[in-house]
Structure 1
């Protein structure tokens, strides 16, 4: 085989070669011979079918298999010639030329390689982390919220009007086009108004009702509602409010602390305040990371850590971004893209910069995860999907099946790994800051001790 290879950069290579007609004929014979051992043809015993008959009857399939094997051999030779290992090849190599000529097939293969990433500058990419101080006022407000949640429910006076955060006890039945639908009926249902447990508009429409009132509530199911027979439909719910419950007052004292901190022996109000302060600190940290610092960190990593990108992976990312965008554009724009190949190409090309950044960050995160031993198990992925589905009022099993069937689980896992890697980097900045503060304290203490000794002399 006449073969030449070239590394375009550290992440991309190209191989050119000619698969000789003679070699291809040998492949055709080998493929036909293998096929003759298993194929059944009337009038011939198994394994005794003449090769000429096999070649004639299954000409196209044999030719396709022979060419495929020849290209695979060429690819393996190219990998050897490039002096790389098979595990360095990333994604599926792309055949960019396949010209059949009398002397053979002129083939060009583009190969993407796992990029080499230098992580020395990662620490310089981590933004400084400063948390806002948790004030006593915030602790007190959270303590009051916690106490209110723990307070028992009591019946409200009969003349009370339903308000947000009240608990309504009511019957309801839903109708679409004056016909009841499955799952749209319940009796003595208890609902906290403002919990958003029901679809938009339902709970707000109940505000102002009194015990004993009847009301028809008109709502529209979301277009993406999990029950397809209800999605996007207008509905009327007939409501009968039986009663209203409100939270009773509860004393904030050591007894409440003991109830809320059963794992702590002799828990008191001071312990509970400390627990709430810790929780508020965690929330403040998570908010700061998610709303500000993670984005800064990602931008810094992209701007600082430079390496060659595998072209094929970037192209695949562009394809995905382009396909996803088709679901968000207007019907007129979609029609234009379908009828004008240049416009479609231009639209796809508009995603190149986004794709390059996404691929860059994915490779950096993967390298950091390997360096720092960050892993996410399949079980953790399923637990996360289950929890989020439950929070959205969806069927967890159906959501998991959807992710499986659409091959989305690897993307979910990668997102979770990225989140952990970025959090770990930001946490390391806190640890460094705390270490510096501690060293300064120790240094100050030593100086003070020396000064005291001198004075005593």
Structure 2
């Protein structure tokens, strides 16, 4: 029977006991697996007696491998018996005083998930993020439609103005040396879009097609390429072309061209209904996000490093997957921003810590409120997921559904429980008017 010897914060200490007869059996099995690798004069390869190998290489030649054979199962049995929710790899050390005795003792310590209890989440005050569809929102959407259907008018009889689109070649240098990423040909740029370094776009205004000229800019102190941050650069510019957008009139004829409606009024009515539905969904998601964040702030326990490390690894894996979908690896990306994998990974620590706290808080609500998920709800969720990912492949749907219900059922259950916890907190929250943010002295001065 395994017993916890002590517990410090989130670290649990216990012993695993291995009987000498089990170790000897394991040594024999290790010998059988590895005897083909031993060669001793007078014996055929693979037929050297175990005793002979021990005499030549030492009586403990198979001991370490035997322990490694026994420990994984013994450790898992101990974890199951103690009902521990471990969050990291264990530390294991053999008690030297038990070497050669009938029972070998292995001292184990391992981090476990913290036990969290939170209170005050019923009726918690949260700033209301509800979005309202105003006339300004509708006007902005209409303006977007006009821009999407704008005509591009080429200009050849005047200089560049604010709001124009230009096409340029440029070469950037610092102290006379060109730098990586500072050269391009045929680059399109909208003047006033603030796409480039501050001061770059403004200096193109007033120049005409075919002109070649220099501009000087200062890279921001917090620029993502550290070797350029805060430095003054010169850009050699060639202006290839100038154009601007000509927006269509928003009238019945325009509406007929871009939609199934005949009049501006019909189009606006449909647009408002769609935006109200969109804003309702967005507002709910923001309420849920704020509820989760408020819950996480209530967690006041020491988080095991293993939990944070695992979450950081997961965040990096997700980021890598997203980047690869865009045709770039994480390794190449961090080089582009002048960082390293380790630095980038460490930058994910604050977010990882927050995510771990949020999850612990949600699990606490599930436990304290007795929230339950039925097998039927799990099956419905799995069915929904596989149909979404494998829409036109029913055979694959069935295989994946069976796999998820057999292998990932507890993961799905945990996710559904957390969703219920979020819904519970949102349903019981008090949403209040957002506080007005006071202007800083700098903002006042800018006005």
Common fold by TM > 0.5? yes
**Paired residue secondary structure (1:186):** strand
Please tell me whether residue 246 in structure 1 is matched to residue 244 in structure 2: yes
| Greater per-residue helix proportion | 1
Rate the CA distance shift 1:314–1:124 in 2: closer, same or farther, 3 A: farther
Question: Is this contact kept in 2: 1:174–1:236, CA < 8 A?
Answer: yes
TM-score, normalised via structure 1 length? 0.56
Task: Tell me which moved more, 166-175 or 13-22.
Answer: 13-22
Once the two structures are superposed, the pairs formed by residues 177-216 of structure 1 within 5 Å of their partners are 177-178=176-177, 184-187=183-186, 189-198=187-196, 201-216=199-214
Contact 2:291 2:426 in 1 (8 A): no
SS of structure 2 residue aligned to 1:250 = coil
Distance in 2 separating the partners of 1:231 and 1:422 = 46
**TM-aligned CA deviation for residue 172 of structure 1:** 3.1
Q: Which stretches in structure 2 are left out of the alignment for 5+ residues?
A: 316-345, 390-411, 432-447
Distance 1:217 1:290 in 2: 45
The TM-score, its normalising length taken from structure 2, stands at 0.57
- Equivalence for 1:30: 29
Whether 1:237 aligns to 2:235 is yes
- Answer yes or no: is the 8 Å Cα contact 2:132–2:279 preserved in 1: no
Aligned twin of 2:78: 78
Do 2:261 and 2:267's aligned partners in 1 also have CA atoms closer than 8 Å? no
Task: Tell me which of 346, 356, 360 is aligned to 1:359.
Answer: 356
Aligned residue for 1:144?
Answer: 143
The verdict on how the C-alpha distance between 1:204 and 1:299 changes in structure 2, with shifts beyond 3 A counting, is same
Cα distance between partner residues in 2 of 1:358 and 1:277: 36
Describe the shift of the 1:22–1:317 C-alpha distance in structure 2 as closer, same or farther (beyond 3 A). Answer: same
Distance 2:419 2:81 in 1: 37
Q: Which residue of 2 aligns with 1:99?
A: 95
Deviation (angstroms), 1:168: 0.8
Residue 300 in structure 1 maps to residue 299 in structure 2: no
CA contact (8 A) 2:171 2:178 kept: no
Distance 1:421 1:272, change over 3 A: farther
Partner residue, 2:304: 314
Q: Is the CA contact 2:40–2:48 (under 8 Å) kept in the aligned structure 1?
A: no
Q: Give yes or no for contact 1:14–1:111 (8 Å, CA) kept in 2.
A: yes
Match of 1:169 among 163, 167, 171: 167
Q: 1:275-286, aligned counterparts within 5 Å?
A: 275-278=270-273, 280-281=275-276
- Give the Cα–Cα distance (whole angstroms) in 2 for the partners of residues 202 and 63 of structure 1: 70
Number of aligned positions between the proteins:
352
Q: Which runs of structure 2 are paired with 1:42-121 in the superposition (5 Å)? A: 43=41, 44-55=43-54, 56-57=56-57, 62-79=62-79, 81-82=81-82, 84=83, 89-95=85-91, 97-101=93-97, 102=99, 103=101, 105-110=104-109
Query: Do the aligned partners of 2:288 and 2:426 also contact (CA within 8 Å) in 1?
Result: no
Which of 240, 255, 258 does residue 257 from structure 1 map onto? Answer: 255
- Indicate how the Cα distance of structure 1 residues 114 and 39 shifts in structure 2: closer, same or farther if over 3 A, else same: same
User: CA separation in 2, counterparts of 1:124 and 1:231?
Assistant: 47
1:76 to 1:142, Cα distance in 2 relative to 1, 3 A: closer
Within 2, Cα distance between the matches of 1:148 and 1:167? 13
Task: Determine whether 1:272 maps to 2:271.
Answer: no
Of structures 1 and 2, the one scoring higher in RCO (CA 8 A, sep 6+) is 2
Q: Give the Å deviation of 1:48.
A: 0.4
Structure 1 counterpart SS, 2:201 = helix
Q: 1 CA distance for matches of 2:116 and 2:154?
A: 65
Shift of 1:252: 0.5
